[in-house]
Amino acid sequence: MKILNHIKSGIVFLFLIFVTGCEGFLDEDLKSELSPNNTLTSTYGFEVGSTGLYALARAEYNTWGESDAYMHGNACPYEALHVATDIVEAINSDGSLTAFANLTLTPEERFVGSYWNWAYSLISSANEILLFSEKNTNWDSPTDKMHYQAEARFFRAYAYRTLIYLFGDVPYVETILYDFKLNFTRTPKEEVLGHIIDDLKFATEHLPANPDDVKDGKLTQWAAFHLLSEMYLFRKEYVLAEKAALEVIDSKYFQLMKSRFGVNKDKPGDVFSDLFVENNQNRKSGNLESIWVLQLEYNAIGGGSNSTDWTRRAWIPNYSTITGFVLADTLGGRGIAQIVPMKWWIGTGGTNATGDFPGIFDTNDIRNSNYNIKRNWYYNNESNASLFGKKCNITEQTWFSTKQLFPALTKFFYGREENLSLTGSYRDRMKFRLSETYLLLAEAYLGQNEPQKAANALNEVRRRAGAPDIDAATMSMDELLDERIRELVGEESRRFTLVRTEKLVERVRAYNTTIKDKITENHVLWPIPQSIIDSNRDVEFPQNPGYN
């Protein structure tokens, strides 16, 4: 019950922050029994506040609300970070994605505003904890103050990371503003990046070191080093990015999983598919690859809701609308294909000689195995005897018109026999894992013009997958970006990766036939939400180029 109380109190606490943050404007007494003034007065109180930060961070994936701390108010917020890139199309998709996919984005678009608001909500919550931690003197341990400051500064950095990727220059706020303000200015992205790096460096010094000593989902210094490496890459400080990535790799706390593990280790599959089996994401399952895991477990205190993380619904074909199919957990549950994978990378299976092609995968790459990409679909409705057990072929129509059937990533398969119409993914989500750390290291070496060292880092990931090594002559940024697809597709925020590497426009023009003649450098950033510009009446708040 103590954990449940932390979660409930933490979520309540988040909303109280917005009340106290507007004291001068609202001019009302706080009626709740909880407030920062009477909650953030002990280690226990900061534990409650910290729980709220974790809840708000994972609510980045929340759609409609329910019991989560935040909501985007529409489907597919995370998929907005994948469309208009080089990996997926959103044909006849959910209306929430149309403007993003077609490059018809306006400052009034819902996710433009909700991502901005989500990030600043997390920043405001982190700033509240930082402010009151300086006032509090009632700590259980001498290290508690620095610990909770480190968590708050990590989450503040994490939120600003999203803002600079999406919007570029944004207001940097590092304290609670009690007076209503109408004169914000845009802080240069490079300056914000400096603040992000300072926060993450502090987190590396004061977060726990041993991941076996923390509860599932809690931060360690290695999550901070991983994100620090990425931010140094964004700043083109490649030597420092290399050093931060090696801190994680050389810590020896983590390893690429190379042997079968977890709940299905004795069932058909491979080690890559094991990573995504329900209950295999945290260290207690034997998974030593995960660095930070968002806790979204089904039917668990503090887990996900039916409105949390609709990634499965977005990526899985709408197969159940085909005569001869019924919803099944083995087919991923309820999918409606709000995005579809592009053929150039996922391929159709087979080889060019057979008329099919393997996409960007080598022959023995397990990430292309039937356990990880489902290409063979068989009718499963036992009541339809004429079709049951027969193969249903993927066609151009089922892939790109009706979206009923196409090669599907099984990493997002999720179904519950007791309720197959569930929408949420309800599975803990690996936010950072060691394979990506190796790929960040490879990016750092490319930035230093060290292609052989970059290839060596990349090959660590490829060897686990059974793919052949590449050499320095083959190593390039495009090869690295292809490898990130093979390993991390749907997990990474693809837009962030392409913006950081300055390859978004080039890759879209090469692979996204729908918008290849439409995209310009102005589309690298989203527009500033119109509500922000309109409310900042005392000082001009410039819009990003290309948006009215």
Q: What is the pLDDT of residue 19?
A: 38
Nearest to 47 by CA among 123, 120, 141: 141
Q: What is the pLDDT of residue 26?
A: 27
Residue 17 lies in a domain: yes
Does the pLDDT value for residue 51 go beyond 60? yes
* 394 compared with 34, residue with greater pLDDT: 394
Domain of 110 in residue numbering reads as 1-88+105-206
Residue 162 lies in a domain: yes
Structure-token pair, residue 284 = 């207690």
Nearest to 417 by CA among 508, 330, 494, 321: 330
Does the pLDDT value for residue 30 go beyond 60? no
pTM, rounded to two decimals: 0.93
- Determine what percent of the chain is predicted with pLDDT higher than 70: 92
Distance CA(494)–CA(311), nearest Å, equals 14
pLDDT-derived band at 175 (thresholds 50, 70, 90) equals: confident
Residue 140 lies in a domain: yes
Residue 23 lies in a domain: yes
Asked if 459 and 480 touch (Cβ cutoff 8 Å), the reply is no
Strand partners, 62: 308
Helix (H) or strand (E) holding 150: helix 144-167
Tens of pLDDT, residues 399-412: 999 999 999 999 99
Nearest to 258 by CA among 272, 248, 243: 272
Residue 62 lies in a domain: yes
Distance CA(496)–CA(499), nearest Å, equals 5
Strand partners, 187: 170
Q: What is the pLDDT of residue 304?
A: 78
Which of the given ranges, 167-176, 237-246, 310-319, has the highest pLDDT on average? Answer: 237-246
Mean pLDDT of 196-201: 98
pLDDT-derived band at 28 (thresholds 50, 70, 90) equals: very low
Tens of pLDDT, residues 420-447: 888 777 789 999 999 999 999 999 999 9
pLDDT-derived band at 182 (thresholds 50, 70, 90) equals: confident
Q: What is the pLDDT of residue 69?
A: 67
Helix (H) or strand (E) holding 432: strand 429-433
- CATH (domain of 179): 1.25.40.890
CB atoms within 10 A of CB 38: 11
Residue 375 lies in a domain: no
Tens of pLDDT, residues 465-506: 999 999 999 999 999 999 999 999 999 999 999 999 999 999
Tens of pLDDT, residues 366-380: 999 999 999 999 999
Residue 290 lies in a domain: no
Please count the structural domains in the chain. Answer: 1
Residue 355 lies in a domain: no
